[in-house]
Structure 1
Amino acid sequence: MTATATASGFSPNPASSSHGRGRPCVITRRATFSASHRYWLPELSAEENQARFGPCSLAPGHGHNYTLVVAMAGPLDADGMVLNLSEVKHAIRAEVTAQLDFRYLNEAWPEFDLDRPEGKLPTTEALCQAIWTRLAPQLPLVGLRLHETDTLWVDLLAPGSAPTPMEAFLSIRTHFAAAHRLARPELSQGENETIYGKCARPHGHGHNYLLDVTVRGPIDARTGMVCDLAALQQLVDDLVVEPFDHTFLNKDVEHFASTVPTAENIALHIADLLSAPIAATGARLHKVRLQESPNNAAEVFAETPQLEMVPAALEALVAG
């Protein structure tokens, strides 16, 4: 479990209250379960299901090892805790993992009964939403993160941190390899090395970049999706991975002929490339995160009004 103190309630004198009593904190708890599911809508033909959901439509379904991170918040009690950890573990086990572990999600919960008008597919987004409805009466939720795989996950935030918990932040991860040189053409080699160090060497150097793309939107009442996941992945492949992979960015990508390809500028350019096409899918590009190396990464928020919305819940989910 991790704990993160919120800035708004931080006191310069921890000894002023016994065991931190009354001071606000966000805590997280991680849980895992294994389950299978199938994407198949009875109102569509076999051909339509195949076209829409691809291999995910194949019977009898497929499985994942899910990881759930639960973020909770509140003031510390007299024992120095937001909540008793045993109670948190019991609530998550009783309401979620005991009901879902080694289950077929399409038949596990009423939300996924497609014979009901309100039934939806058990996508990552819809599953996270269903988990929220079960845990919210038990725990002071501020955020949930559900990983279906290492390259696909969803976040839900409490009201006030996001427009509504019915909206989800869906993230996909991919990668590409590329070389670059950090140098401004109007400067001398010596001046560039003063600014960029080894990165200014004339023949450049390479990285294996990790790219996270996060979109935001309402969860469709029937498909259970924020957007067409296959279409989103195809956009990222077509507009970023294919044009960037195994290139010398300064020479092979026109934008970087006149813009220094720092991690920040690459992330900004990716956000510019993806923003409008993703909007056409019905979702909104929320942010792009580009990891250049284990030690360096850049994040760009595509939604300007959201720049001030960096809630403690989301940060805790990342750390959790």
Structure 2
Amino acid sequence: MFVPRWTESENLVAFGPETEARYGTGRNYVAYFAFTGPVDPVTGMLINISEIKHRAGKVVDEKFDHKFLNEDNPSFRDLPPTVENIARQLYLEVAPLFSDADAKLAAVHLIETPERSATFYSDDACDANYWFEFSAARETRSPSLSEEENKQLFGKATALHGHNYRARLTFHTDQPAGEAPLARYDKIDNCIHSLRSELDHRHLNRDVEAFKTRPMTTESLRIH
């Protein structure tokens, strides 16, 4: 994972340690093809899933599955096979195969690892998703309410309890950059490290300054 015309340091901040594996790294990708269109009143289907498997599956088998993408797929000779670029290329190759169908390919969602995925849409927009986990204790309550009001609203959740959270950071662009990933490795790594340091194994109501004056709910945690 590297851009030949970039320096080693530029590749490192963009792609992380993976850029040093110049002879490749392996992934078990999972691709989802999302279609939109009218439901056939006779069959009750948007499109026969067998058609998706046949048409999209042929592209996947011939150009992506068990391939060294940098060498075996011409699309990635000069373009790094980031998860965003692979999702985009899958869309570009599969969408025309359904030009004769009422259902149209709306998006390709590609999972690269449990922590990283991307979605490429028919309007050329793209999302990059990064997941991370943390464990924390909390009391579900609002500092603006009395003890009795909190108990009436949140019930037993007002007592101290813990959760194992799985959070997703989603970055969106209407114009994919091509060579560069949607979010640079160094910035994502620093961001997730900072969030984990702040939230992991904490009493959220007491240890996180923002929740001393804000309701401690999952919605508030998401906004934070």
TM-score normalised over the length of structure 1: 0.63
Q: Distance in 1 between matches of 2:52 and 2:128?
A: 25
Residue 235 of structure 1 deviates from its aligned partner by 1.3
SS in 2 for 1:235: helix
Aligned to 1:247: 202
Q: Distance in 2 between matches of 1:150 and 1:252?
A: 29
Identify the match of residue 258 of structure 1 among 209, 213, 217. 213
When residues 98 and 233 of structure 1 are mapped into structure 2, their CA distance, relative to the original with a 3 A threshold, is: same
SS in 2 for 1:102: coil
Q: Distance in 2 between matches of 1:132 and 1:61?
A: 23
Are 1:66 and 2:26 matched, yes or no? no
Aligned to 1:146: 110
Q: Distance in 2 between matches of 1:104 and 1:263?
A: 42
Q: In structure 1, give the amino acid aligned to 2:67.
A: R
What are structure 2's unaligned runs of at least 5 residues? 99-103
Q: Using the TM superposition, name which of 40-49 and 62-71 deviates more.
A: 40-49
Q: In structure 2, give the amino acid aligned to 1:205.
A: H
Residue 54 of structure 1 deviates from its aligned partner by 2.8
Residue 41 of structure 1 deviates from its aligned partner by 1.8
Q: Distance in 2 between matches of 1:79 and 1:187?
A: 54
When residues 174 and 186 of structure 1 are mapped into structure 2, their CA distance, relative to the original with a 3 A threshold, is: closer
Q: Which structure is higher in strand share?
A: 1
When residues 69 and 185 of structure 1 are mapped into structure 2, their CA distance, relative to the original with a 3 A threshold, is: closer
Aligned to 2:139: 181
Deviations 1:18-56 (A, max 9, x none): xxxxxxxxxxxxxxxxxxxxx122213445434543321
When residues 206 and 76 of structure 1 are mapped into structure 2, their CA distance, relative to the original with a 3 A threshold, is: closer
Identify the match of residue 63 of structure 2 among 83, 90, 99. 99
Residue 74 of structure 1 deviates from its aligned partner by 2.3
Aligned to 2:5: 43
Are 1:191 and 2:191 matched, yes or no? no
Are 1:232 and 2:188 matched, yes or no? yes
Q: Distance in 2 between matches of 1:156 and 1:150?
A: 18
Aligned to 2:81: 122
Residue 144 of structure 1 deviates from its aligned partner by 1.1
Alpha-carbon RMSD across the aligned residues, in angstroms, is 1.9
When residues 263 and 186 of structure 1 are mapped into structure 2, their CA distance, relative to the original with a 3 A threshold, is: closer
Q: In structure 2, give the amino acid aligned to 1:76.
A: V
Residue 230 of structure 1 deviates from its aligned partner by 3.5
What are structure 1's unaligned runs of at least 5 residues? 1-38, 115-119, 159-163, 270-320
Deviations 1:288-314 (A, max 9, x none): xxxxxxxxxxxxxxxxxxxxxxxxxxx
SS in 2 for 1:60: coil
Identify the match of residue 17 of structure 2 among 51, 55, 75. 55
Residue 107 of structure 1 deviates from its aligned partner by 1.6
Q: Distance in 1 between matches of 2:200 and 2:17?
A: 26
Equivalent residue pairs, number: 216
Q: Distance in 1 between matches of 2:117 and 2:144?
A: 43
Aligned to 2:46: 82
Identify the match of residue 212 of structure 1 among 168, 174, 187. 168
Where do 4+ consecutive residues of structure 1 move more than 4 Å?
Answer: 185-188
Q: Is the 8 A contact 2:143 2:212 kept in 1?
A: no
Are 1:172 and 2:130 matched, yes or no? yes
Q: Distance in 1 between matches of 2:81 and 2:158?
A: 49
Q: Distance in 2 between matches of 1:51 and 1:194?
A: 50
Q: Distance in 1 between matches of 2:135 and 2:158?
A: 19
Residue 242 of structure 1 deviates from its aligned partner by 1.0
Q: Distance in 2 between matches of 1:110 and 1:237?
A: 36
Aligned to 1:10: none
